[in-house]
Amino acid sequence: MIILIPGYQPDGKLPQLVGDLLAADPRLLVLVVDDGSGPRFGTVFDDARHAGATVIGYPHNRGKGQALKTGFGYAERHHPGEGVVCADSDGQHAVPDILRVAARLRGTGGSTRWTGSTMVLGERAFDGDVPVRSRLGNALTRILFRLAAGVRLQDTQTGLRGYPAAMLPWLQSVRGDRYEYELNLLLQAGQAGHRIDSIPISTIYLTGNSSSHFRPLVDSARIYAPLLAFSLSSLAAFGIDLAAFVVLGLLTDSLLLAVVGARVLSSSVNFLANRRLVFAEGRHRPLSAAALRYFTLVVALLAANYAGIFLLTDAGVPEVAAKVFTEAALFITSFTVQKRFLSGRGAAPTLRVPRPALPRGSGTEAGPVPRAVPAPEAVPTFTTVPPPAAPRGRRVA
């Protein structure tokens, strides 16, 4: 089992974490990625290496997402068949929790019951003394993620995650270099055939989370970009739809013709915008196939839209108000289905798997799983710092 720790300008908690992990389980291999911290932090990484970690890195900061991808690539090349547990370098993940995620990964990662693989999240309860920005940020992301993916997660921003070896090629193909990367993994897991399991972990924030390099405005924009882009695209299409609905209603005096004509115009604009800008990863799918899927959805939503407006207007609600209310009610359904149809990655939902009791003992990982061909997105070249000779008897679990 590999413990992957990305680090950007870390402090003394990093070598302490490495030492504590190896003291708790000498069979682990701890892999630290220096995300371009600079010469001033060389001593910290030297201390982590002396504590028993393998340290790799590159000279310039690329972001947490890229650091994780670099670690996944190294693990796949040098330790094929090994699962990876990711933990943060700032002391916010307790060693017992890291080991529990590793134990759960051993129990689920090699299962043949599912066509994909299962990632394991260490979910915080956000109880106790939690910084306001962290509490509010996670609450907002949790709500938006549930609306977008239809999956209830307690902690979408946790950095403590376990991935089986079979998932490593896919992990390197998902877009994102910084904090948005980990949310992208959750959003795209279902379409890639992967599932999500979780265990509760401690909520630890040290000195008000002052060691975090998260930039509230810039990184939040990156995290919420997919949903925001879809919202803007849908808002523009809604404006076109509403204007056409009013004009056609005045010209034809027919609710059916107004609804259908407005939807044909607005949906065509919405389809092209979403395909090119929002779900760009799906542009490899032929236009005709994507259009067929999309307009099948349009027909279904159109029927629901007409029925909703008809029922509301029949109850005495003004037509424009009835349309606005109906469109808002159908927004999330449209986002979820369009993301699946236009991304072209299959329709497997991201389902939470049942939480079995933690396996007793250390357990063993399943044998190597046939690898998928990774997507063409390149992992950057990095400099490997040769680690010291491992203590006698140490091996990868």
Residue 203 phi, psi dihedral angles, 5° rounding: -100, 110
Report the share of the chain in percent with pLDDT over 70: 62
Report the C-alpha gap between 25 and 132 in whole angstroms: 35
- State mean pLDDT over 181-188: 84
pLDDT exceeds cutoff 50 at 57:
yes
- Helix intervals (H) in 81-127: 95-108
Could you state, in order of their start, the residue ranges of all structural domains in the chain? 2-214+357-385, 225-343
> What would the two tokens of residue 88 be?
């943060």
Provide the pLDDT for residue 177. 84
pLDDT exceeds cutoff 90 at 376:
no
CA torsion angle 341 343 344 349 (round to 10) = -70
Under 8 Å CB-to-CB from 397, ≥6 apart: which residues?
A: 1, 25, 27, 28, 29, 102, 362, 365
pLDDT exceeds cutoff 50 at 350:
no
* CATH of the domain spanning 2-214+357-385, picked from 3.40.50.300, 3.90.550.10, 3.90.1300.10, 3.30.70.100: 3.90.550.10
Ramachandran assignment for 27, one of left (phi > 0), alpha (psi -120 to 50 degrees), beta (any other): alpha
- Amino acid occupying residue 220: S
Full-model pTM? 0.60
pLDDT exceeds cutoff 70 at 369:
no
Q: How confident is the model at residue 151 (pLDDT cuts 50, 70, 90)?
A: confident
Q: How confident is the model at residue 240 (pLDDT cuts 50, 70, 90)?
A: confident
